[in-house]
Each structure stands twice: as structure tokens, then as C-alpha cells.
């Protein structure tokens, strides 16, 4: 079906949209802010996507509409809104870590590890595994953004429960996109390792997309509450 990628986005967003009618969810949800954040974060990811589509990956014409914007199907544009919106809803409904998990001392070293990834990402990119290198670069930038924005997302145990849930969502949704396949990949640009049908780089890509959204959401929400 040519409109299958559109249906995929509908399935992703229908639960979060319906949840907004729940009084309990609506009390904690800032849906306008979530849409604003998703719209901001999608800009660099759309640029990345548009540049590498046709080499790092491309979209199966059997499952996407013929119309393209910057070379990307409409379903791909919607992906950067529907998926972060749903994940941010998961984030804001999770309990704070201090109440259910002992603070993990090693978390203070997470950002240092991400800083160390930066030079490695450049080297890997130079070997031709460009998708792998770009994902690692974004992981390093997460550490810098977390420090500069002073959100300290990476120091919260809650974040790692969130990432565990995101991992499950990637297995379901990216598993569908890659098994169908709606998205196809240029093997030369990645490590070649897969979990089921999903390139391992897709997990890093998903983590960075969700973490950038969550970092900006938490920062803007704090500013919103100060007004």
C-alpha cells in the first residue's frame, strides 16, 4: 500500500492523542510544548535525513506516496513529530527515580564516556561507515547538550528506564519499518550488525532523537513554569 507509512504514523500517534482526554494525563501533559520541541529538534534530523537519503538509506516506493519534500516522503516528516510526541508522553508519566531506584554513582561518568566518543566518531566516519560515525557523533553531542543546558538528564536514573522503554519501542516500530521493508539501507555506510532486521545504528539514532527532544522539553518546561 502506497499510504502504509502514513498509516504507521497514525498507529503511533493515536494512543498519545487519545490519552490527552484523560484528566490524569492532561494534568501533567504539555502537548503544545511537546509539539514545539519536536518541531525544533526535527530540523537538524530532517537536514541529515535529506542529505543521506539515497545512500545511507532510502524509502521503498511500494509503501510510500510518490510525493516527496526534500526527497523525503510525508510519512518520514511525520515520523519526527509522532514518535517524539509519544515518547515524551511516556517520559512525563514515569516516576522520578529517587523514589524507586537507588541513585547510581557511576552515572556521573556517563557524560565523560560520551565526550570520549566524539573523536572516535570522526575516525569511524572517515573509514566509510558514515552512518555509524554520525550516530556516535550525536551521542557525544548529547553529553555536551546535557551539560550546557544544565538539565542533567544523564544523571537521572529515570532516564535509563526511559531508554529501556524506548528500546522496546524501537524493536516494535523500527522492526516493522525494516522488516516490511519500508526503509532500506546502504550496508556500506554502517557496521553491518543488526538486531533482528534493525541496524544497530538505528538504536543509537533513536536514542539521540528522543534524548534531544527530552533535553529541550525539560529545559523549556522549566522556563515555562518560571513565567
**Which whole-number Å values give the CA distances from 77 to 25, 43, 64, 83, in the listed order?**
26, 10, 12, 11
Q: How many domains does the chain have?
A: 1
Average pLDDT over residues 221-225: 72
Predicted confidence band at 95 (pLDDT cuts at 50, 70, 90)?
A: confident
Can you tell me the distance from the alpha carbon of 215 to that of 154, in angstroms, rounded to the nearest whole number? Answer: 10
Residue 101 scores a pLDDT above 50: no
Domain with 49 in it:
4-226
Can you give the pLDDT at residue 159?
93
**Predicted local confidence at residue 66, as pLDDT:** 93
> What's the whole-number mean pLDDT along residues 116-130?
96
pTM for this predicted structure: 0.90
pLDDT at 227: 52
* pLDDT value for 97: 56
- Least confident interval from 24-33, 57-66, 80-89, 98-107: 98-107
Would you place residue 31 in the very low, low, confident or very high pLDDT band (cuts 50, 70, 90)? confident
Q: Are 154 and 216 in contact (CB under 8 A)?
A: no
Cβ–Cβ < 8 Å for 3, 182: no
pLDDT at 130 over 90: yes
Amino acid at each position: 500500500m502506497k499510504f502504509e507509512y502514513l498509516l504507521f504514523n497514525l498507529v503511533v500517534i493515536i494512543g498519545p492523542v487519545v490519552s490527552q482526554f484523560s484528566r490524569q494525563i492532561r494534568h501533567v501533559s504539555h502537548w503544545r510544548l511537546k509539539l514545539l520541541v519536536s518541531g525544533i529538534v526535527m530540523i537538524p534530523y530532517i537536514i541529515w535525513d535529506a542529505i543521506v537519503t539515497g545512500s545511507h538509506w532510502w524509502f521503498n516506493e511500494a509503501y510510500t506516496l510518490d510525493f516527496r519534500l526534500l526527497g523525503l516522503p510525508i510519512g518520514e516528516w511525520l515520523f519526527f513529530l509522532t514518535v517524539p510526541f509519544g515518547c515524551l508522553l511516556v517520559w512525563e508519566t514515569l516516576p522520578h527515580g529517587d523514589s524507586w531506584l537507588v541513585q547510581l554513582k557511576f552515572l556521573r561518568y556517563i557524560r565523560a564516556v560520551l565526550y570520549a566518543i566524539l573523536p572516535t566518531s570522526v575516525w569511524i566516519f572517515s573509514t566509510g561507515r558514515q552512518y555509524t560515525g554520525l550516530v556516535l557523533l550525536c551521542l557525544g553531542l548529547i553529553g555536551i547538550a546535557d551539560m550546557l543546558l544544565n538539565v542533567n538528564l544523564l544523571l537521572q536514573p529515570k532516564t535509563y528506564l526511559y531508554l529501556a522503554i524506548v528500546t522496546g519501542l524501537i524493536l516494535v516500530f523500527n522492526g516493522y519499518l525494516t522488516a516490511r521493508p519500508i526503509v532500506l539501507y546502504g550496508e556500506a555506510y554502517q557496521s553491518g550488525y543488526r538486531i533482528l532486521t534493525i541496524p544497530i545504528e538505528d538504536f543509537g539514532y533513536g536514542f539521540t532523537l528522543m534524548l534531544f527532544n527530552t533535553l529541550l522539553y525539560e529545559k523549556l518546561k522549566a522556563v515555562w513554569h518560571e513565567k
